[in-house]
Structure 1
Amino acid sequence: MLSIEGVITAEGLVRARGIRYATASRFAEPTPVPWDGARPSERGPACPQPPSALAALVGNSVEGLSFDEHCQVLSVTAPADASGLPVMVWFHGGAYVTGSGESTKYEASLLASEGVVVVSVSYRLGVFGYLRDDLGLLDQLTALRWVRDNIASFGGDPANVTAFGQSAGADSVYALMLTDTEGLFRRAILQSAPLGTRSPERAEMTAALRAALSVDGATSVEDVLAAQVAAVAEVGPKFAPSGGMPFAPELGSVDLSAVAPRVELLVGHTADDGSPYVPSREHWEAVTELVFAGGARELAQDWAVAGGQVATYRFTWAPADAPLGSCHCMELPFLFDPDGWLGAGMLAGEEPDPVLAKTIRGVWAGFARNGMDALPSRSLEFGG
């Protein structure tokens, strides 16, 4: 048993927060930081960022956190008696401009209690991470190497790693699948990946953003963020739907034949993913299909054709008085500890159904443990 004072929780879990896995100067590639075995209990910093466009819906995802460009940290939650358990590495969403893996919204006690080791990763965002050379993606790859090299100390199996994420975090996992040449994970879960924003015009949009942004290593953080907001407002509308997520890894042409046979995939979305982004039900159904549902369906089909094993899911639960139905992010309070989601506008005063939440955590953990063999179906529905 790992008995470290101040880290063992009342639930019998080891929780280590804000472990630094890399460091980097502005606009430079990350340098791995060797782990010294320390298991700190304080949350690490979030990347500097503007306010979230979805704050009214989900709440403040960075409340109580400090901000620092040197945000390459991760947190681990594991059963105290863990030994050889499957590992789940979480990449947060936020359109590549907001959020943090250190957020209380991603508290993973209940998920870890399903018999898995959970790692939550923070990485550079916006201009800091994706204006040049996809540095945020390099941060994420460095974090996965940290997991490979160190997770056994927490009772995790480095040969049984699942990468999972939601929204931009799911898009990150998609990019990681296509760029990981080291076999850093064997399974992937994509939750509401905005794959419909991945159009051929993304390279042109990135070039336009670079032209509109005049920042360097000496520009203050405040001025970088102000310039980022102004550039996105100017450039984004010219490149819909890609402009809805202007910062993201550039992947070029995609060939799934090399990756699909070695990575088992679970991919899906919420029934009304598009509702926060448009004013009417007619339009939100169209956005759900264009940005989220259609891309998930097509990826699943292409994955199977390329020789991979794949399952899909659809999340339909919504509160009785939900203003936006089963909207983007609605599954997250079911996967992570619900206390972090109290007061979220999307829940309309209701609490997540605990039975459904237990089911979802069990399915996710089971998939991480045994892949497709653990799933009750290759086409899953989660609703109330």
Structure 2
Amino acid sequence: MLSIGRVITAEGLVRARGIRYATADRFAAPSPVAWDGVIDDSRRGPACPQPPSMLAPMVGNSVEGLSFDEHCQVLSVTAPAGASGLPVMVWFHGGAYVTGSGESTKYETGLLASEGVVVVNVSYRLGVFGYLRDNLGLLDQFVALRWVRDNVAAFGGDPANVTVFGQSAGGDSVYALMLTDTEGLFHRAIMQSAPMGTRSPERAEMTAALRAAITVDASTSVEDVLAAQVAAVADVGPRFGPSGGMPFAPEVGADLAAAASRVELLVGHTADDGSPYVPSREYWEAVTELIFAGGARQLAQDWTAAGGRVATYLFSWAPADAPLGCCHCMELPFLFDPEGWLGAGMLAGQEPDPVLAKTLRGAWTTFARSGLDALPSRSLEFGG
């Protein structure tokens, strides 16, 4: 067991990596794992087995250096040393529900935590392992939130002041969590570039087609599960328009009233979210509107109509001569420690503007600390 003193960084932070919050057999619901109080800052936890990311040329390898294991229900915590009663921010990574990990070096939260919050990074089951049936990945996320409720005070976090936030599929996870949380595990949420346009009526039919195509069981090797997943997605996905762009996702209802009554929401997107997914610039705007912007705008309107409180944002910074403009994921090097994003193709050899990064982190942590009333506007813009 390591003492707190031995894991305080030079920046005055406490980091605990790879804490197991649940365990589960393949295709089974997660069972919570009691935390034994051990704090280890040296070893990152495993990522869920996954195929290569189609966005790797743009963002880099998000799972570089990580091991892979179906038993990937781990989380990591970063907190200011000596913290007490600080707001808690729980991060859910993106990757279309098939790639990525909360343990990624791209999601280092030192600068965010230094703004006076406790940050928890969650890893959960992906693809066939998590979303072929029974919303298992979503159930993992709920067990992680209960772990936060029960344990985050040990790191100086306030379990009564929790904000969930996520980008892309992580933002979609936030949407699903808001609609299905009946325990009051969080009261604020940030949805970053959630692909709401993939939540169309045809999704149920696509899910049924995937289930018919992927015939694996508990004895199938991991390699064969991934091969079956890739083959089924390539065959089934193109038949279902926008939904086929994210074949795996939790199945949830769309009744916003209860969620809007208890959750303050900040929702938005990048100016050119759709650019990585189309072959030419002339289609960027249409795909951005169809998959990302239109859904964010409609959700904000629906949230308000349901009696909820909401603010919106647009992130529009792009490096000079950027091949994809202000593309999907562009805000992430501003929100997290930028070292993990060095060499990312989308940055075109440039570094994030540190002033804008400080502004973005300040807005996110201000919202987490004090809610919408502390923001300078209900319609935020970054980098225009």
**TM superposition score normalised by structure 2:** 0.99
Q: Is the 8 A contact 1:363 1:374 kept in 2?
A: no
SS of 2:372's partner is helix
Q: Which amino acid aligns with 1:121?
A: V
Q: Is the 8 A contact 2:3 2:39 kept in 1?
A: no
In the alignment, the residues of structure 1 paired with residue 379 and residue 76 of structure 2 have an alpha-carbon distance, to the nearest angstrom, of 32
Unpaired stretches in structure 1, ≥5 consecutive residues: none
Residue 251 of structure 1, CA deviation = 1.2
Q: Which residue of 2 aligns with 1:203?
A: 204
SS of 1:76's partner is strand
In the alignment, the residues of structure 2 paired with residue 7 and residue 306 of structure 1 have an alpha-carbon distance, to the nearest angstrom, of 45
Q: Which residue of 2 aligns with 1:272?
A: 272
1:192-231 alignment to 2 at 5 Å? 192-231=193-232
Q: Which residue of 1 aligns with 2:377?
A: 377
Matched, 1:139 2:136: no
In the alignment, the residues of structure 2 paired with residue 236 and residue 134 of structure 1 have an alpha-carbon distance, to the nearest angstrom, of 19
Matched, 1:359 2:359: yes
Residue 6 of structure 1, CA deviation = 3.6
Runs of 4+ in 1 over 3 A off after TM superposition: none
Matched, 1:255 2:255: yes
Give deviations 1:53-77, integer Å, cap 9, x for gaps.
Answer: 0000000000000000000000000
In the alignment, the residues of structure 2 paired with residue 112 and residue 312 of structure 1 have an alpha-carbon distance, to the nearest angstrom, of 23
In the alignment, the residues of structure 1 paired with residue 119 and residue 329 of structure 2 have an alpha-carbon distance, to the nearest angstrom, of 19
Matched, 1:160 2:161: yes
Q: Which residue of 2 aligns with 1:27?
A: 27
Residues 5 and 82 (structure 1), Cα distance of their counterparts in 2 relative to 1, 3 Å cut: closer
SS of 1:240's partner is helix
Q: Which residue of 2 aligns with 1:60?
A: 61
In the alignment, the residues of structure 1 paired with residue 6 and residue 207 of structure 2 have an alpha-carbon distance, to the nearest angstrom, of 45
Q: Which residue of 2 aligns with 1:117?
A: 118
In the alignment, the residues of structure 2 paired with residue 348 and residue 81 of structure 1 have an alpha-carbon distance, to the nearest angstrom, of 39
Percent pairwise identity: 85
Residue 284 of structure 1, CA deviation = 1.3
How many corresponding residue pairs?
382
Q: Is the 8 A contact 2:73 2:125 kept in 1?
A: yes
Give deviations 1:21-66, integer Å, cap 9, x for gaps.
Answer: 0000000000000011111221000000000000000000000000
Q: Which residue of 1 aligns with 2:39?
A: 39
Q: Which amino acid aligns with 2:203?
A: R
In the alignment, the residues of structure 2 paired with residue 28 and residue 251 of structure 1 have an alpha-carbon distance, to the nearest angstrom, of 19
Please, what is the CA RMSD of the aligned residues? 0.9
1:80-91 alignment to 2 at 5 Å? 80-91=81-92
Residue 240 of structure 1, CA deviation = 1.0
Residue 81 of structure 1, CA deviation = 1.4
Q: Which amino acid aligns with 1:140?
A: Q
In the alignment, the residues of structure 2 paired with residue 355 and residue 247 of structure 1 have an alpha-carbon distance, to the nearest angstrom, of 37
Matched, 1:350 2:350: yes
Q: Which residue of 1 aligns with 2:190?
A: 189
In the alignment, the residues of structure 2 paired with residue 220 and residue 227 of structure 1 have an alpha-carbon distance, to the nearest angstrom, of 11
Residue 5 of structure 1, CA deviation = 4.4
